Structure 1
């Protein structure tokens, strides 16, 4: 049997999923023990007990200054910014992507502009955003929108243009106008790719969020990481990084499950292909 045709069982697949993480944990443990044996005060690779103490301090002990549980306050602030920006980006991307893909006049007008904006590094215009929108929440949300929205528009435009021409011709033959074709024919087929596109841009959205919070914020996961970096507090930084990765993984999983539940016909077709 060829290797490409060999599919692992469910138990084997779970084992293979966990194997790289287990290897990384072992490597970190060995490296940390070696560094701490040489220098017990080393901060680069803290011991697991230091992580436990830091998590207890940040998540389950009120701050002496504010009385807040810092990890949960930071998480709530970051998620509010991220979810708002991603939601707005998905809505704009869906509307402009379908319109550009369906209407040649709109595509000729807006597609070059969207392409040009998508090629501008969002971090390069971060100072402009702070000047125009201030140092509040709006500038951070706009940074994420500018970073991922053009990508969503271009992806959904291509998805719309790749729909079978026969479907559109049959709908026109049956008397449907452009609006009806968009709503009844195009939109149901574009929603699953929209969720897939959002999943692919989540990593970039988190990147822009952390960058915005690091420069101008008073709370948030990115703010906290860059605040304590001056103390080389890796026992706090690494758990925060892992917490961000876990949040991103949960969001990606929820979107995947939502897509599978809402559009089983789409995923069934993909499996057949």
Structure 2
């Protein structure tokens, strides 16, 4: 049998999926032990005990200055910014993408602008956002919106244009007007595709969030990472990075589950 036609069993697939993570952990553990054996005060590759102590201090002990549990405070602040930014971007993408995809007149006027906006490096305009919107929450949210909305707009518009032409002809034959075509034919079919677009945009959204928090913020996961780097506090930085990764995975899987529950017909089609 050709290799391209061989599919691993579920147990084998699980083993193969876990294997790279196990190897990374073993490699890190070995390197950390060697460095700590040579220098117990080494900060570059902290051991499990050091990182556990740091997590306990950041997540389960009140900060002496603020009286807050810093890790949970940072998590709440970051997730709030991320949620608002991605939510606004997805809403804009749905409206603009639908109109660009279904209405040729709108597409002629809006598509070039959306394409141009999607080519702008979002981090390059971060200073402009800070100048225009200040150093508060709005500039951070706007960076996420500007960084993710144009790409999602283009994706939604493309998905609308890929809908079978027969459907468009039939619904118009039945007497549907433009509004009904958008709301009854295009919208129901594009919603699960929008969720997929949001999932793909989560990685860039986290990047823009961390960058904005690192430059101008008083709380947040990105802010804390760049704050403690001054002290080479890898025992804090590594758990924070792992925590961000876990949050991203959980959010992605929740969106995936929502897509399956809300639109079973979409996933039944092999998407």
What residue ranges of structure 2 are gaps of 5+ in the alignment? Answer: none
- Give how far 1:37 is off: 1.7
Separation in structure 2 between the aligned mates of residue 267 and residue 112 of structure 1, nearest angstrom: 32
CA deviation string 1:40-86 (max 9, x = no partner): 22111011110010000000010011111000000000000000110
Q: 1:87 maps to which residue?
A: 87
Separation in structure 2 between the aligned mates of residue 110 and residue 166 of structure 1, nearest angstrom: 25
Separation in structure 2 between the aligned mates of residue 9 and residue 68 of structure 1, nearest angstrom: 48
Separation in structure 2 between the aligned mates of residue 270 and residue 193 of structure 1, nearest angstrom: 13
Q: 2:25 maps to which residue?
A: 25
- Give how far 1:8 is off: 2.2
Separation in structure 1 between the aligned mates of residue 171 and residue 116 of structure 2, nearest angstrom: 33
- Give how far 1:5 is off: 2.3
What residue ranges of structure 1 are gaps of 5+ in the alignment? Answer: none
Q: 2:206 maps to which residue?
A: 206
Q: 1:122 maps to which residue?
A: 122
Q: 1:265 maps to which residue?
A: 265
Q: 1:139 maps to which residue?
A: 139
- Give how far 1:35 is off: 1.3
Q: Secondary structure at the match of 2:53?
A: helix
Find out whether 1:195 has 2:195 as its counterpart: yes
Cα RMSD of the aligned pairs, angstroms, is 0.9
Separation in structure 1 between the aligned mates of residue 11 and residue 257 of structure 2, nearest angstrom: 21
Find out whether 1:10 has 2:21 as its counterpart: no
Q: 1:148 maps to which residue?
A: 148
Q: 1:57 maps to which residue?
A: 57
Aligned structure 1 segments of 4 or more residues deviating by more than 4 angstroms: none
- Give how far 1:9 is off: 2.3
Total equivalences in the alignment: 271
Separation in structure 2 between the aligned mates of residue 14 and residue 263 of structure 1, nearest angstrom: 27
